[in-house]
Amino acid sequence: MRFSKIQVITAMNQTGMVPVFYHKDIEVAKNVVKACYDGGVRVFEFTNRADFAHEVFRDLVKYATKECPEMIMGIGSVVDAPTAALYIQLGANFIVGPLFNPEVAKVANRRLIPYAPGCGSVTEVGFAQEAGCDVCKVFPGDVLGAGFVKGLKAPMPWSNLMVTGGVKPEEANLKSWFDAGVACVGMGSNLFPAEMIKAGNWAGITKLCSDAMAIIQTVKK
């Protein structure tokens, strides 16, 4: 592992943002990672969304190691332990899932890699924490809302939460999440408009990232 568990969690909390992205074309993926890096991003989640996604990820990690040395690369959309093990072998420094699977926690814990499972209830967050998950992903964020985060943090203030789903790179949206108590946000399609990707407007993506990061630094508590 290039980055320790503590380094990964610290970077998530300090930058406050994890871009979430998938593309089957390695060249597009490389350009997006570099654009995010230039915009100040230091934690990047590539999602396990289609056949051979692991091959794209393998090449992307090698590229990032060389061109974006401080970028922490992780994998998302992981629902089972064998998939987690495969991606760890390919250089994933953290694992994210849409749901909580205790078997994934075991694989991640054995290698001291952060596992951020998707949790949609206070009970799920509790079970995930019991299984050693230092970061829990509130998902889907647009369904649960900022009120869920605030309500959960009242009796469980130690909770380190990342929200994904419905997060927008806009001040009002970001402020509502950080005011509620999230440590960081995961942002996908709103950070990577389809037309920008299609046009290869990497500078535009760098600007979206740096603008979002700037907002986060002002609204973070």
Count of structural domains, the chain = 1
- Give strand pairing partners of 47: 76
pLDDT at position 166, please? 87
pTM: 0.97
Report the amino acid identity of residue 36: C
pLDDT at position 143, please? 97
Burial of 147 (0-12, 13-18, 19+ CB in 10 A): exposed
Helix (H) or strand (E) holding 141: helix 141-153
Q: For residue 145, is it left (φ>0), alpha (ψ between -120 and 50) or beta?
A: left
Q: Residue 42 sits in a domain of what CATH number?
A: 3.20.20.70
> Is there a contact between 75 and 48 (Cβ–Cβ < 8 Å)?
yes
pLDDT at position 1, please? 77
Q: Which stretches of the chain score pLDDT less than 50?
A: none
Q: How far is CA 7 from CA 4, 93, 118, 130, 172, in A?
A: 5, 10, 21, 21, 29
- Give strand pairing partners of 19: 187
d(CA 208, CA 100): 31
Q: Which domain holds residue 44?
A: 5-219
Percent of the chain's residues with pLDDT above 90: 99
d(CA 212, CA 35): 13
pLDDT at position 38, please? 98
